[in-house]
Amino acid sequence: MREIIKESQRIVVKVGTSTIMYSNGKINLRTIERLVRVLADLSNQGKEVILVSSGAIGVGSHKLQLKTPPVEMAEKQAIAAVGQSELMHIYSKLFGEYGHVVGQILLTRDVIDFPDSRKNVTNTFEMMLNKGIIPIVNENDTVSVNEIEHVTRFGDNDQLSAIVSEVTTADLLILLSDIDGLFDSDPNVNPNAKLISEVKEITPYIVNLAGGEGSRFGTGGMVTKIEAAKRVVNNQSRMLITNGADPYILYDLLEGKNIGTLFSNE
């Protein structure tokens, strides 16, 4: 089954806040640099790469030297505006060093839910990829709200990355996180917990294995990743969860090595 991963041409890579930020709230520049280098190299190989990057609030908090993460919605949105600008500056600078141009796409759920706007977003992705531009996607945190009558939030970037994978008809979605994959029990509690290599059906058992919250500056956990996997598998695509501490692991994944957890109904 892992052999088919080698054939993936259009790849969405989602990086979580916990991967690009240290636990002390500082930016993990080493990991970001290695991630950019790998993605630039994959693009040089002829693959189409889309990056979904979390971290706007974390990077904004760092930029503003905040001691604790923001709590109020307005504060989160203001800090996200600062962080998103800084994050894109970092990505643009690093990708530019490898001769690649990036473009920012900020999405809200209502854009995806309406046929006309969904088509426009899809066309934008296609044109960027055709021109060799690497799309960098995040939720538009500065305007996204979740109200009774007007729901615009994706809720987390795991779900966002699954939707990006869907609208771009990507061959593969890779979630780089601070976990090695899905285990049969909590590895933080049970030292004998075993990694589940492949999931071909998301059963109630698989759903029950998911649990826990994200990191200090993150919003996701395994629950959101399982929800993302449902969407990807339902669209006849594939999703991988693995540890993104060293982004060079992407090479091993795309060579078909048995790393992380693969979700596919094939």
List residues forming the annotated binding site for ATP: 14, 177-178, 219-225
Q: Which tokens is 77 given?
A: 């949105």
DSSP tag of 3: G
Contacts with 149 (C-beta within 8 Å, 6 or more apart), sequence order:
none
Q: Which segments are annotated as binding site?
A: 14, 54, 141, 157, 177-178, 219-225
Sign of dihedral through CA atoms 52, 57, 58, 59? Answer: positive
Opening angle at CA 218, ends 176 and 155, nearest 5: 95
Please state whether 101 falls in left (phi above 0), alpha (psi between -120 and 50) or beta. beta
- CA neighbor of 80 nearest in space, from 102, 108, 40: 108
Q: Which long-range contacts (CB under 8 A, 24 or more apart) does 193-198 make?
A: 195/260, 195/261, 196/261, 197/258, 197/261, 197/262, 198/1, 198/261, 198/262, 198/263, 198/264
Please state whether 65 falls in left (phi above 0), alpha (psi between -120 and 50) or beta. left
Q: Which segments are annotated as binding site for substrate?
A: 54, 141, 157
Residue type, 39: L
Hey, how many other C-beta atoms are within 10 angstroms of the C-beta on 148? 5
Sign of dihedral through CA atoms 177, 40, 53, 152? Answer: negative
